[in-house]
């Protein structure tokens, strides 16, 4: 198991890792790209009071109805809302991550509905999870989910063992469109788990816990691979912010190497204070994560979701 009480980093001013300047500055680009997933997943949320929220939602409904092809899109919108947990959670996600602009949110929703249809994201739960597990890229994807039913606050957990993620080999084995399809299926899995948990609890769950474990990671090799393939990585993971907005509640980077502090320094200035508050970078496992999951035994159960060979269980 992993030790549970180490120092952690919350904001650029608190970075305490020693910094070594070597190999020029090219690795900074790699660090920024490696942190892009955090920046895109932790989008700037715009908070509204109850009256403003009701007004924005009503305006969004009207904007959707004005779309030329809304009659054909409306059944897909109902399915999408259900996948997210029902109620207004889905609509609010698009408003919050789009500056509370109803017309812009409507256009984004229409684009997402077309994307969902094209990528088979309207399948029922059994078909979706079968598509995930049978996809050829699944064997190269050292990620696994812990459903919200096993977490005290109902938030699903996505755990990743980064030392087993072979970036270059995976990109070489599949074309970009195929990988994008798999990532879409994976994100949809998170959305379904979030929706299931929200319906079970009778109240919207705040989002997912995304946990990136850097134990045994060769950080410089990893960043070198990311840097070499950064345009493709950016295109593939952009679908998260485009079509799965506001899924993330909290992101934890565990057993972080020295370079993690530098990744954070590159990424944090482009994130809002609200988004920064979602990210926790730690040399070990922060006590707050152990508490959120229900104790140290729960942390060990999470880590066991992915074997040391990178296979999800």
Give the sheet arrangement for strand 248-254, strand by strand: 8-9, 279-282, 248-254, 208-213, 157-161, 143-146
* Distance (Å) of CA 175 to CA 14, 75, 136: 40, 31, 12
Gap between the Cα atoms of 94 and 267, Å rounded:
23
pLDDT in tens, 65-122: 999 999 999 999 999 999 999 999 999 999 988 888 999 999 999 999 999 999 999 9
Give the least confident one: 6-20, 170-184, 253-267.
6-20
Residues 6+ apart with CB under 8 A from 34: 222, 223, 226, 263
pLDDT in tens, 240-273: 989 999 999 999 999 988 877 777 777 777 677 7
Q: Residue 148: is its pLDDT beyond 50?
A: yes
Reported pTM = 0.83
10 Å Cβ neighbour count for 312?
18
Per the CB < 8 A criterion, the answer to whether 203 and 157 are in contact is no
Parallel, antiparallel, or unpaired for β 248-254 and 279-282? parallel
Quick one: pLDDT at residue 162?
93
Quick one: pLDDT at residue 261?
75
Q: Residue 181: is its pLDDT beyond 50?
A: yes
Gap between the Cα atoms of 38 and 84, Å rounded:
21
Quick one: pLDDT at residue 47?
60
Give the least confident one: 54-58, 162-166, 280-284, 308-312.
308-312
Position 35 confidence tier, pLDDT thresholds 50, 70, 90? low
Gap between the Cα atoms of 50 and 37, Å rounded:
31
Quick one: pLDDT at residue 51?
80
Question: How much of the chain is helix, strand and coil, in % rounded to 5?
Answer: 60, 10, 30
Quick one: pLDDT at residue 11?
31
Q: Residue 274: is its pLDDT beyond 50?
A: yes
pLDDT in tens, 186-214: 999 999 999 999 999 999 999 999 999 99
Quick one: pLDDT at residue 312?
57
The widest CA-to-CA distance across the chain, in whole angstroms, is: 58
Helices (H), 143-175: 167-173
Gap between the Cα atoms of 106 and 164, Å rounded:
39
Helices (H), 85-124: 89-96, 102-118
Q: Residue 131: is its pLDDT beyond 60?
A: yes
Please name which of 263, 256, 303 lies closest in space to residue 283, comparing C-alpha atoms.
Answer: 256
């Amino acid at each position: 198991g992993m030790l549970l009480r180490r120092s952690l980093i919350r904001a650029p001013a608190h970075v305490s890792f020693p910094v070594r300047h070597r190999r020029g500055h090219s690795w900074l680009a790699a660090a920024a790209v490696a942190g892009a997933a955090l920046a895109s997943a932790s989008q700037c949320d715009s908070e509204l009071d109850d009256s403003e929220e009701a007004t924005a939602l009503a305006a969004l409904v009207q904007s959707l109805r004005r779309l030329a092809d809304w009659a054909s899109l409306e059944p897909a919108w109902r399915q999408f809302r259900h996948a997210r947990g029902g109620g207004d959670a889905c609509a609010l996600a698009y408003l919050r991550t789009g500056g509370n602009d109803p017309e812009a949110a409507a256009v984004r929703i229409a684009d997402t509905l077309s994307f969902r249809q094209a990528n088979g994201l309207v399948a029922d739960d059994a078909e979706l999870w079968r598509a995930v597990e049978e996809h050829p890229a699944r064997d190269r994807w050292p990620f696994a989910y812990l459903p919200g039913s096993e977490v005290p606050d109902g938030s699903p957990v996505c755990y990743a063992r980064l030392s087993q993620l072979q970036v270059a080999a995976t990109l070489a084995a599949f074309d970009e469109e195929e990988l994008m399809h798999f990532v879409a299926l994976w994100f949809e899995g998170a959305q379904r788990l979030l929706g299931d948990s929200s319906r079970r609890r009778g109240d919207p769950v705040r989002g997912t816990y995304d946990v990136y474990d850097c134990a045994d990671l060769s950080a410089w090799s990893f960043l070198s691979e990311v840097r070499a393939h950064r345009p493709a990585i950016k295109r593939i993971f952009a679908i998260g912010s485009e079509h799965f907005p506001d899924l993330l509640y909290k992101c934890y980077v565990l057993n972080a190497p020295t370079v993690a502090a530098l990744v954070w320094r590159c990424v944090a200035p482009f994130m809002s204070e609200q988004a920064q508050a979602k990210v926790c970078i730690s040399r070990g496992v922060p006590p707050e994560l152990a508490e959120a999951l229900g104790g140290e035994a729960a942390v060990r159960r999470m880590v066991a979701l992915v074997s040391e060979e990178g296979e999800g269980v």
